[in-house]
Chains A and B, each alone.
Chain A
Amino acid sequence: MASDDVVIDAEGRYTSGRGFGQLADEHASYLTRLRGHLGEESPVPYEEVSGPYAELMAAWLETSGQAAERLGFTGAAQVMMADGNVATERANEQVSAW
């Protein structure tokens, strides 16, 4: 039974979770293409720039990978939470039926 300040909309949470999961997949496949585009070779032939630029690209790819993972985690957590909400409702229904 939901108290006044607790509202559960499991369907909304499922849709939201699936949305995040889809975004995570999209972002991950974008990053695979991005790795190909940026390539290994520095576009600037001066060591003053090529080192720090490689560092910047690495930071970007790493943190973008983390962002994709985080999108996936957000999605999975929403789905898990909705599962929990639904299971609780079912349990409540069963308890009331007794």
Chain B
Amino acid sequence: MSDQLVGAGYGFFGSARLPDLPGVGVHADTWDGSAGQSRQMADDGVSALRLATANRGPSAGAAQEHGTGTVGALLQAGNLGSVTAGVLRSLEGVSNAIRSHLDVLAGMAGIALAAGAATPAGRLLLTRLRAVFTRTAGALRPLMRKFGDIMRSLAEAVRRRVGTKGAQSPQAASRPMFPQAAEYVNNTVQGAKVSLGNAERVIQERQRLMTRLNSSFDDGTLTADDLAQVPYLRQSPTSHPLYQAERQLDSAQLTANNYNSDMNLAAFNSAKDLHRDLDELMGIEDDLLQWLRRNNGLEPWPA
């Protein structure tokens, strides 16, 4: 899709393009590195502890216990560092998905503006596009608030688990450490990644299709090849990536229900809203395609 059309669309919506967040990936890598460092320190600490295990007696026992507490805190740090890296990558994914989605909406508005904003069909499309754009753009900050909440609870877990007070034995640390949080965060982050990946694939597919349509629109020809793209919009509902993403969100939501975590339930509801918007976007695209076909005389206007 040409930058010009996308730019015209953003102009029509009176909105600027969302920023890239290149620093988030860099930070995620740093957290992964830091988690690795903590685990390495824990491993080396275990080796250092073994050197003194020939000692027996009450004070030897107390010394060993203190040492295992030190190692345990480092293991907890390793786990929490990895979770933080995952949360940052998830945030980056959400932000990118919303931006791509808004780009497509802006591009479609650009096409509709160029094709004839004055016609009743054009006005109707633009009105619907504006509604989806507003709702999608409006989803960003509430989702960011959810990420903020997750980070706040991670900060609390870091103080509790890694701080001096929270030091635990490696045995305790190697048990599923806070079973609900650890397992749940893993499940949900994985689930959300898959869903977002699917949603992004849908968006990319849309972008490819719209680029085709746009170029044929620019040179005034809409060909049978372009129309061959249309069945994609009408494929079997159950094989559709959005349908599958929805299913994954449902199962992730079940997990969230099991763990009774209001915060994460809210995050998943926001994600589901995003998917609903994508669904509506596809409906609008369908209309826009039909409109282009009719405008180009490839399909008669209804009587």
Contacts and interface: CB of A to CB of B under 8 A. Distances in A.
A28 B236 CA distance: 58
13 contacts: A5-B56, A5-B57, A6-B60, A9-B54, A13-B63, A15-B51, A15-B52, A52-B151, A55-B152, A63-B162, A66-B162, A67-B162, A78-B67
Of A12, A56, A78, most buried by chain B (CB within 10 Å of CB) is A56
A49 B73 contact: no
Interface of A: 5-9, 12-13, 15-17, 19-20, 23, 26-27, 30, 34, 37-38, 41, 43-46, 48-49, 51-53, 55-56, 58-60, 62-64, 66-67, 70-71, 74, 77-78, 81
Contacts of A66: 73, 162-164
B23 interface: yes
A12 B159 contact: no
Given A5-B57, A56-B152, 9 more contacts: A19-B44, A34-B30, A55-B151, A60-B81, A60-B155, A62-B159, A66-B164, A71-B45, A78-B67
A48 B139 CA distance: 13
Given A34-B34, A44-B21, A12 B53 contact: yes
B56 A48 contact: no
B178 to A, nearest CB: 16
Contacts of B19: 45
B48 to A, nearest CB: 3
B159 A63 contact: yes
Interface residues of B, number: 57
Interface in B141-162: 141, 144-145, 147-149, 151-152, 154-156, 158-159, 162
A30 B41 CA distance: 11
A67 B70 contact: yes
Given A20-B48, A53-B151, A67 B57 contact: no
Contact of A23 (B44, B50, B141): B44
A19 B91 CA distance: 39
A9 B144 CA distance: 56
Contact of B24 (A44, A71, A81): A44
Closest 7 CB pairs of A and B: A43-B23, A19-B48, A6-B57, A9-B54, A16-B52, A7-B56, A16-B51
Interface of B: 19, 21-24, 26-27, 30, 34, 37-38, 41, 44-45, 47-57, 59-60, 63, 66-67, 69-70, 73-74, 77, 80-81, 84, 91, 140-141, 144-145, 147-149, 151-152, 154-156, 158-159, 162-164, 167
A44 B150 CA distance: 14
B144 A67 contact: no
Contacts of A15: 51-52
A59 B155 contact: yes
A88 to B, nearest CB: 11
Contacts of B47: 19
A52 B74 CA distance: 22
B63 A49 contact: no
Nearest to B55: A9
Of B37, B53, B140, most buried by chain A (CB within 10 Å of CB) is B37
A46 B139 CA distance: 13
B55 A13 contact: yes
B55 A12 contact: yes
Given A12-B53, A55-B152, A56-B158, A30 B147 contact: no
Contacts of B155: 52, 55-56, 58-60
B170 to A, nearest CB: 13
Of B22, B144, B155, B164, most buried by chain A (CB within 10 Å of CB) is B155
Contact of B152 (A16, A27, A46, A52): A52
Given A44-B91, A67-B73, A67-B74, A16 B48 contact: yes
